[in-house]
Amino acid sequence: MVGDKVSDIECGWNTGVKCCALIRTGYGSEHESQLEQATGPLAVIDSIADLSNLAIAQAE
């Protein structure tokens, strides 16, 4: 699950998604501090272009 808001990330966690990614574009940079104490799997990426590297890392 990729999103730029806390609600996007929580949606992914609530549905059992293996890894959620907060993207810093859009609202992401504003919401990042709200996820500092995250309890679910979370990656933070700067742009959608970074998503491919995250997917490769998750596959390994």
Residue with tokens 């679910």: 40
Task: Tell me which of 55 and 25 has the higher pLDDT.
Answer: 25
- Write the burial class of residue 19 (CB in 10 Å: 0-12 exposed, 13-18 middle, 19+ buried): middle
pLDDT of residue 36: 86
pLDDT at 11 over 90: yes
Two structure tokens written together for 28: 């992401």
Domain boundaries, the chain: 2-59
Res. 9 pLDDT band, cuts 50 70 90: very high
Q: Could you read off the pLDDT of 17-50 as tens digits, one per residue?
A: 988 999 998 899 999 999 888 888 899 999 988 9
Res. 2 pLDDT band, cuts 50 70 90: very high
User: What pTM does this model have?
Assistant: 0.81
Question: 38: helix, coil or strand?
Answer: coil
Question: 37: helix, coil or strand?
Answer: coil
